[in-house]
Structure 1
Amino acid sequence: MNPLLEQFLIEGRDLLDAAGAALLDLERAHADAAAMNSLFRAVHTLKGTSGLFEMAPLTSLVHAGEDLLAQLRSTGRPITPAMVDLLLAAFDLTRTWLEAIERSGGDLPAEAAEVAATRAQAIRALMDGGDGPAAASAGGTAAPHAPPAWVATLPPAELATAEAAARAVDRDLVAVEYCPDAQCFFRGEDPLNLVRQVPELVALQVLPPPAWPALAEMDAFASALSFRLLCTAPREDVQHLFRYCEDVAISAFAPSQAPQPDAGVVTEVLASQLHLLDVSCEPECLPGRASAIGMLLRRVMTHLGRALDEATLGSAVRQTAEGHPEALAALLREVRAPAAPPPLPPLAAAAAAGGTAVAADPAEAPAPSPELRSAPVTLRVDQSKIDVLMNLVGELIVAKNSLSYLARKAEAGASARDLARDIKDQQAVVHRLAEEMQSAVMAIRMLPVNHVFQRFPRLVRDLSRRLGKQVDVVLEGEETEADKNMIEALSDPLLHMIRNSLDHGLESAEERMVAGKKPHGTLRLAAEQQNETIVVTVSDDGRGIDPKRVRRKAVERGLLDDAAAEAMPDEEALRLVFRAGFSTSEQVSDLSGRGVGMDVVRSTVEKVGGWVDLSSKPGQGTTVRMTLPLTMAVTRIMTIECAGHLFGIPMNTVVESVRLPASAVHCIRGQEAFVLRDRIVPLLRLDHLLELPVAPQAAAREDDPVLVLRAGQATVGLVIDAFRERMEAIVRPLEGMLSGLRGFVGTTLLGDGRVLLILDVAELV
């Protein structure tokens, strides 16, 4: 793929992210000038850069959005929900096209032009005060627009001449406002030459700057003029001419003095054409007659301002030329009774009929077609992080050269004591460099959680409107960083929790007001770093979870009997929502209620070495906390000994280590346990879990080494034979015949070459 195109795809996604965020900010605060400027800047830049690659459908769609935003900026007209919906749909479609370009190597989908015309038409219809997609006609020809305000400043005679020229060729007038950047000459842009090349130019204004600089300060190589012009050429031709220019606004509008269609004349003309079809003629005359009637029908439709399906007309003309005029006659009869243009179908239906569809729920967007080649995975990195790594590589080269010096010194017969001292010193240098390089590489892989957080304000907006609820999204700690893989692993759990909050947790505005709450619910996403972990919290101020209802549902589903449910503490009852297939919802919807969402949250988080906590108060809201390691690349483990074998346990599961005398062990309901700070902790023995022989020295011990571990929502004690060292390791997953072995997360190599098995605490207990 063209490297320039690859860069455009990366920047294009960033611009779409920025535009989407600014658009949602603008919807919440209509008078937010900063949000409007940020939105316009992102859309304007995307339009300009896309023009470098001959992506006419994509450019025209983004340009329609830019024209709408330009009108809102200049008139102060507030943005409406219909505008936000159409612009967000356009951004989604543009993102889909960027992905298609990336996978195909540079090609837009075949139906892109048709879909872009429909979407652009719907957006431009809003510029005339329409309320949404229904304001546009269905044909693909945009409805006439109001002219830009500057058109009224043209001399009346010049404007009248321009309108007459447009009516003579049955076209809209195209208005161009071109304000080239002062440094445009240095980019190869020649404003005067561009204006000279405008086809069918009918009016031109050349504007000086508001104030000329002093002669001594004037830069002869800086462009200072602006241009306003009208032409009757097709808008697409004008856009193609200015495709490399960023500082240009192009719009089309119908001549204000265009005569109204005369229904009587139209009927008479069409009747004469029907009569002509009935008159017999020689077969060689049929193609000419069919072509003439088709051309006349096209002009009549343009005169009426109605859309005409060119494919249908072309087929009818061909059939008439072959001696079958029925289809063309049917078209003529259909046009004889002028009717209002049919409404534009909903965007989702239009996309389904015309090609690329944009899912109503962004979370359910279809996966890319498998036959398309996978795109390379890229990671944008701050240059300063690369500089740190390069400096460390330089130090490593110096350290490598010192090894040659030590080898020569050994060959020269240096004493063992001197060599040992030098090797020890050099090992310390290499050890330091290895640790710093590890930290530098890990820093390169770190991403802010905003990378995943930024997807959800749009999702919350769409789903809350769909559910008829009013929800404010609050993001906190977006700059908190974690490993790229860990950040991406957050996506699915967050999606399920947000769906549950919107569907089950947050009430409608009416319910909230009856309960004495403000009409708008609040959904909060927060992230913070705590030591070697990242804590992500999802909370809402909704109705909360009733432990009594959870117990009742558990009994109904056969998970508990009545006695166990009655004795279960509230905290433990709330954890039942993480059971597979468990749901408190009475109804199953396409959003939630199937009992899989919170199970996915728990399993996904535990798979990456984290855990989930849930707290809730009925009537006040629910909070879910996910605690995950900062990175999966390097794992801190504690080595332990059991029955003469070494094992590793991830440090993020270790709460503390204690030595437990035999007198402190009790049997409660057939289970060994001990009391730790007034809390009963179940006790398990690793040799029993792994079915290993009991070590001979175990019976002679006065006290047992015990690791207190966190296993999901529970805390347990694990009896071992001895504590060993702590270390950092690269944990590799089990492969081959061992891949299905339960109770182990992977392996790592020890310094002496032995393989160390890493225990999966949640699986074992």
Structure 2
Amino acid sequence: MNPLLDQFLIEARELLDTASEGLLRMERGNGGAEMVNTVFRAVHTLKGTSGLFEVAPLTTLVHAAEDLLDAVRAQHLTLTGTMTDLLLGALDQTRAWLTTYEASEALPADAAAVAAERGAALRALLGGGASPATADAVDAGAVAGMRGWVAAFAPEQRAAAEAAARAADRDLVAVAYRPDPACFFRGEDPLHLLRQVPEVHALEVQQPDAWPSADTFDPFDCVLSFRLLSTAPPEELRHLFRYCEDVEIAAYAPPGAVPPDAATVQEVLDAQLALLRQPAEADAAAERAAAVAEVLRRIARHCGQRVDEAVLAKASEEAAAGRTEALAALLERSRIRPPPAPETGGAVHAPERPAVEVRPAGTATLRVDQAKIDTMMNLIGELIVAKNSLSYLARKAEAGASARELARDIKDQQAVVNRLAEDMQAAIMAIRMLPVSHVFQRFPRLVRDVARKLGKQVELVLEGEETEADKNMIEALADPLIHMVRNSLDHGLEPPEERIAAGKPPHGTVRLTAAQVNESIIVTIGDDGRGIDPDRMRRKAVERGMLDAEAAAALPDAEALRLIFAPGFSTAETISDLSGRGVGMDVVRSAVEKAGGWVAVDSQVGRGTTVQVTVPLSMAVARIMTIECAGHLFGIPMGAVVESVRLPASAVHHIRDREAFVLRDRIVPLLRLARLLDLPGEAAASQAIEDAPVLVLRVGQATVGLVIDAFRERMEAIVRPLEGVLAGLRGFAGTTLLGDGRVLLILDVAELI
């Protein structure tokens, strides 16, 4: 991929995240004017940088969002829920286009039409400026200002330009172009750009009021500006100058021209609207739609404005097919008077388009703090010095040094290499560590959208966003957390009227917290909703044939709550796009256990539910304990080890056909690793050993004892997943290499138990 494009995609997604998060804060009334400026700057920067690539529809859409945000920033408009919906929808569409462009370096075929449709909906909210049907129109004040400098052209130039416009039956378009002084460093060439302007009939190059002195003159600064008159279509000129920051383009009405009469224009529009709504055959409807569209186009020109051709074409197609609503709406909102405020229902908004999911074809990227890279470079320098010392030891051995002296030097050097290896491992892990805010930042938007869809009032509280974990672990947490937050919103929190009746505030609270405990990260999702009723869980389990009535009645409350993680289990009465299929919490449990963690749930009826997810900090480097069983070495992740004990044979009790022992007044099931792995000829020998070594392990909420033959050393290892013919082998989490080159199998404790 082009490095410039790669950098643009990274920065563009960061700008979209900043803008989306800022919009949500603005809607909640947080941040004030500074937050508005932050969102505006993010969108403005994205518009500017997108101009370096062939993504004109994306630039058009972002430009429309920028104009609306500029009106909010200038306090001409107040941000409403409708505005936020449209702006967030535009940002989502932009994000989807970036994903598509990353995969194919091209936007979808319908991008221009989508940009025109969404852009028109955004500009429809600019009540005091351009008309909703006339996007990019310049207000009367700007046109009046242009008349002043247009009059400064030589009379013969101006007359020739006006005559050319009349001969071509086109508007005379005035363009004022003021390049940025540093435009040469942004790939903008004013001279080349002006040479591309078609049908120029007058051009003026404006010099600065005072030229800088020779000492301060910078030949790489552009100090000129330009004014011109052209008969080219305004759309073509806007496209040509689409990447320029400071340019004004407007149809110029010569002095003495008859201004549009608002009453007359409105009468014509009303007549066209009445004509359009009369019943007609298919052929007549098509002809009528085309005629109405042409009338609308001419009225817009008469008013010094223009109609968005993409929106008009789509509306005309629907009208020709007998669906006149779109074209009628276009007529209704094409009046000269300002359109009604969006909240009154007077504005027509573009329908939401689902974003197409396209998997990026490029490699994943990770932005790293410069200080972490500097640390790595320092360690690499030390490692090179340590490597050079090995050749010194080799020469010393060849020179006949004594074995004792060589052994001492080798041990000293091994200590240095060991320290460097540990420091480099820590530095690499620090590079891979990301704050959980990378996952948490998507939830304000999710909670807002789902709550609006469900008609609920929800406050989201995020805590511990600075907690760090391995990048892969952070990504593994994303989908399970989404499922659980959606469940809290759909199942947990009650509608406002139900909460008020229960003596609760109308708005519910979803709390998402993260914390590091030892070598694990614990993420908690809690709500103050209706809670989970254990009795209802038992009834549902019986209804679905998962348990018989007797077994369900004997089930403790804690185990009844854990039924939500059973495959196919759901308490929803109806299936919706949010819930009811019985796959949500089962997916959560499977995903978390696959990442080496476990899930716990606690709930109180009427007070709320808390789900706790515990996962290791990293899936790349694991601390393991090596054990021996039946003459073989195995590894067990230290995260599953609670303690190790020596168990005499007399302490083993038999409950039915199972073994157990008592550990601090608690009965713990006892399993024998040799039997679990079906190691030939060793199970009986393991049972007869006095003072058998036992590892006490915790898997989820369960505690078990695992009988082995011997404890070995603890170590840190890079765990590799099983590949080839061994891929998917149950009972093993992966492999690692020992110092002597042997392969050590790492046990998947949860799967074994």
Where on the TM-score scale, by shorter chain, does this alignment land: which range?
A: 0.7 to 0.9
TM-score by length of 2: 0.81
Match of 2:732 among 744, 749, 755: 744
Contact 1:547/1:573 (CA < 8 Å) preserved in 2?
yes
Please tell me whether residue 36 in structure 1 is matched to residue 20 in structure 2. Answer: no
**Deviation (angstroms), 1:51:** 1.2
- Aligned partners of 2:494 and 2:227: how far apart in 1? 53
Per the alignment, residue 505 of structure 1 pairs with: 492
Please tell me whether residue 719 in structure 1 is matched to residue 721 in structure 2. Answer: no
Per the alignment, residue 657 of structure 1 pairs with: 644
Match of 2:560 among 546, 562, 573: 573
Amino acid at match of 2:354: V
Amino acid at match of 2:514: A
- Aligned partners of 2:742 and 2:361: how far apart in 1? 38
The 1:434–1:182 alpha-carbon spacing in structure 2 relative to 1, beyond 3 Å, is same
Contact 1:640/1:722 (CA < 8 Å) preserved in 2?
yes
Please tell me whether residue 258 in structure 1 is matched to residue 247 in structure 2. Answer: no
Per the alignment, residue 704 of structure 1 pairs with: 692
Runs of 5+ unmatched residues, structure 1: 272-292, 317-326, 350-356, 360-364
What SS does the aligned partner of 1:646 have?
A: strand
Please tell me whether residue 688 in structure 1 is matched to residue 683 in structure 2. Answer: no
- Aligned partners of 2:596 and 2:493: how far apart in 1? 30
Which deviates more from structure 2 when the two are superposed, residues 614-623 or residues 404-413?
Answer: 614-623
The 1:696–1:589 alpha-carbon spacing in structure 2 relative to 1, beyond 3 Å, is closer
- Percent of matched pairs sharing the same residue: 64
Runs of 5+ unmatched residues, structure 2: 276-287, 301-305, 333-346
- Aligned partners of 1:759 and 1:451: how far apart in 2? 31
Contact 1:128/1:146 (CA < 8 Å) preserved in 2?
no
Match of 1:358 among 354, 360, 363: 354
- Aligned partners of 1:510 and 1:396: how far apart in 2? 67
Match of 1:147 among 133, 139, 151: 139
Amino acid at match of 2:708: I
- Aligned partners of 2:493 and 2:174: how far apart in 1? 49
Per the alignment, residue 55 of structure 1 pairs with: 55
Per the alignment, residue 384 of structure 2 pairs with: 397
- Size of the aligned set, in residue pairs, is 697
- Aligned partners of 1:157 and 1:249: how far apart in 2? 13
Amino acid at match of 2:79: I
Per the alignment, residue 341 of structure 1 pairs with: 330
Which deviates more from structure 2 when the two are superposed, residues 192-201 or residues 730-739?
Answer: 192-201
The 1:172–1:86 alpha-carbon spacing in structure 2 relative to 1, beyond 3 Å, is farther
The 1:709–1:207 alpha-carbon spacing in structure 2 relative to 1, beyond 3 Å, is farther
Amino acid at match of 1:522: T
**Deviation (angstroms), 1:366:** 3.4
The 1:420–1:182 alpha-carbon spacing in structure 2 relative to 1, beyond 3 Å, is same
What SS does the aligned partner of 1:407 have?
A: helix
Contact 2:204/2:226 (CA < 8 Å) preserved in 1?
yes
Per the alignment, residue 103 of structure 1 pairs with: 103
Per the alignment, residue 515 of structure 1 pairs with: 502
The 1:444–1:252 alpha-carbon spacing in structure 2 relative to 1, beyond 3 Å, is farther
- Aligned partners of 2:459 and 2:517: how far apart in 1? 27
Contact 1:507/1:521 (CA < 8 Å) preserved in 2?
yes
Per the alignment, residue 119 of structure 1 pairs with: 118
Contact 1:206/1:225 (CA < 8 Å) preserved in 2?
yes
**Deviation (angstroms), 1:76:** 4.3
**Deviation (angstroms), 1:389:** 1.4
Per the alignment, residue 70 of structure 1 pairs with: 70
TM-score by length of 1: 0.79
- Aligned partners of 1:155 and 1:310: how far apart in 2? 30
Per the alignment, residue 46 of structure 2 pairs with: 46
**Deviation (angstroms), 1:236:** 3.8
Contact 1:261/1:303 (CA < 8 Å) preserved in 2?
no
- Aligned partners of 2:171 and 2:563: how far apart in 1? 66
Match of 2:663 among 676, 679, 685: 676
Amino acid at match of 1:374: A
Match of 1:755 among 718, 734, 743: 743
**Deviation (angstroms), 1:384:** 1.9
The 1:262–1:89 alpha-carbon spacing in structure 2 relative to 1, beyond 3 Å, is closer
Amino acid at match of 1:416: A
The 1:597–1:481 alpha-carbon spacing in structure 2 relative to 1, beyond 3 Å, is same
Contact 2:177/2:227 (CA < 8 Å) preserved in 1?
yes
**Deviation (angstroms), 1:192:** 11
- Aligned partners of 2:89 and 2:268: how far apart in 1? 42
The 1:151–1:743 alpha-carbon spacing in structure 2 relative to 1, beyond 3 Å, is same
Amino acid at match of 1:706: V
Deviations 1:411-441 (A, max 9, x none): 1111111111111111111111111122222
The 1:229–1:525 alpha-carbon spacing in structure 2 relative to 1, beyond 3 Å, is farther
**Deviation (angstroms), 1:741:** 2.9
Contact 1:674/1:682 (CA < 8 Å) preserved in 2?
yes
Per the alignment, residue 283 of structure 2 pairs with: none
Please tell me whether residue 473 in structure 1 is matched to residue 465 in structure 2. Answer: no
Amino acid at match of 2:563: L
Contact 2:116/2:308 (CA < 8 Å) preserved in 1?
no
Contact 1:731/1:746 (CA < 8 Å) preserved in 2?
yes
What SS does the aligned partner of 1:490 have?
A: helix
Which deviates more from structure 2 when the two are superposed, residues 15-24 or residues 581-590?
Answer: 581-590
